[in-house]
Chain A
Amino acid sequence: MSDLQLLLAHLVKLGLVALLGGMLVRGRVGLCWAFFFYVLAILVGNSLVTLAPQRFFNHSFWVLKQGVYDLLKMAVAIELAWRAFAAFPGAWRTARIVLLAIAATGSLSLAWLTPRSYQTLWEWQPGAVTATVWLLTATALLVVFYQVPIGNWQRAIMLGLAPYLLVFVTALSMLRRHGWAVRDGASLLDALAYLGVVLFWAWAAWRKDAPRLAEGREGSPA
């Protein structure tokens, strides 16, 4: 691990601590539990790699932690959709069908189009990440279509995660196309993007919200 990579990893760690602090102080943990566990998993993975690189900075650990991250990212996308639509049976029925279709398409294409080998597990990454981006996008499109009022925090999670995942897929594509010769460049791109998104989330987590609406406030008829 280069000095620059290490520095960026430490900065990301600081950002993650600030993010978790903001989520706890502002009471945002319960707004998306999967995201809380995702951030926690990232912090643990980051700490293990940076504090004990001789043991954890290797291919097998990378594959393991990416598998965990992928599962948690999908859980984030599904929980956000569930929280947005669960109270609206009509909209939730449509959302379920759309999300299931995306998840099924992603799973089938991954199962059929990628080699079945532990050593090539990282080749699953772009497909899994693409499916997650589409899950988030489907939720966003349905939110706008149904005019469902989602919170600023959920919006910030989606607006941060999707662009980062695009950068991640780009970095992976660079690696697949050009091989390990571009590893440092791809890694730097990924680390910088992740630092940016963590800082954005930390800012969104600490930001104060508008005061709660008064109970029983008068509503206009339409």
Chain B
Amino acid sequence: MLELVLSSVACAALCYTLGRYNRTLALQRWQFVLNAPEERALESLRRRVELDTALARQALDAAERARDARRPADAITVLRVALSLLEEAGADRLTRLRAMAVYSRMVRAIRPLPAPSPAPFRGTQLKAAAAVGGFFHGFLVGTQERFRLWLVLMGLGVRIVLRGGRQAVDGAIREPARPRPWAAFAAGLSDFEALDASHLAAFEALAASLAAVDRGGRLELWERIAGDSR
């Protein structure tokens, strides 16, 4: 009877997981690791990251100009655009952080990253999170664990920035002439740029670590999997 129960549980788990398994999606996720050269992938990501923050900063500048010109309605509208750009970029970063967490389990070792530091951040919550992360970083031994701690911190940082940005926009809507919400939004944007720098460093470390792992073998496997007929 015990065997029957164990087999039923195992069979149900297998059918559920493999039934929902989407091979095309898995292939797409692996595409950049296995097909694109690391430098090109990194350069493409760097351009995207720079574009996101440049657009958000441009929108913030335009909103501040409108505020200074005493056009509060326009200022708030453009500030909302800046927030939506930030939210879109944040969603993109969170998705990539999740993907990096998956890929980081594939490699034997990851190129070490420096310990998290509060120095590059302006927000109090982010500074505190980075300080706590830096403290725990010292207790972790493996580079993979340290790398994943970095990923957790970056995810937390993105969420903190987005929440702060929303609160700042709400504050600016209530009192457009008050400088504090605008300063808070600008500080959040600056923190987002600092997080992006860490994001790129983490991506570069992961790409380099994956590249160091038997690339020929991976490409061969890739062809076998993608072709599925040899």
Contact = CB atoms under 8 A, between A and B. Distances in A.
Contacts, number: 166
B225 A150 contact: yes
A122 to B, nearest CB: 13
B205 interface: no
B7 A130 contact: yes
B132 to A, nearest CB: 27
B3, B42, B218, most chain A CB atoms within 10 A? B3
Given A27-B230, A169-B3, A94 B14 contact: no
B26 A213 contact: no
B109 to A, nearest CB: 9
B224 A90 contact: no
B32 A151 contact: no
A129 B7 contact: yes
Contact of B13 (A93, A137, A151): A137
Interface in B14-31: 14-15, 17-21, 23, 26-31
* Top 9 closest pairs, chain A to chain B, by CB: A219-B36, A126-B3, A219-B35, A212-B227, A221-B41, A137-B10, A151-B228, A149-B26, A221-B44
Interface in B22-78: 23, 26-32, 34-36, 40-42, 44-45, 48
B159 interface: no
A11 B27 CA distance: 37
Given A159-B19, A162-B10, A219 B31 contact: yes
Contacts of B14: 133, 136-137, 140-141, 158-159, 162
7 contacts: A27-B230, A126-B7, A136-B10, A140-B17, A140-B18, A151-B225, A219-B31
Interface of A: 26-28, 30-31, 86-91, 93-94, 126-127, 129-130, 133-134, 136-137, 140-141, 143-144, 146-153, 155, 158-159, 162-163, 165-166, 169-170, 173, 209-210, 212-213, 215-222
User: Which bracket fits the contact residues of B?
Assistant: 35 or more
B7 A221 contact: no
Dominant secondary structure at the A interface: helix
Contacts of B10: 130, 133-134, 136-137, 162
B21 A143 contact: yes
A88 B6 CA distance: 29
Contacts of B41: 219, 221-222
Given A163-B15, A169-B7, A222-B96, A155 B23 contact: yes
A90 B23 CA distance: 21
Contacts of A90: 104-108, 144
A196 to B, nearest CB: 14
Contacts of A165: 7, 11
A69 to B, nearest CB: 16
B36, B104, B213, B229, most chain A CB atoms within 10 A? B229
Nearest to A138: B10
Given A165-B11, A219-B32, A159 B18 contact: yes
Nearest to A222: B96
A117 B74 CA distance: 87
A132 to B, nearest CB: 9
B1 interface: yes
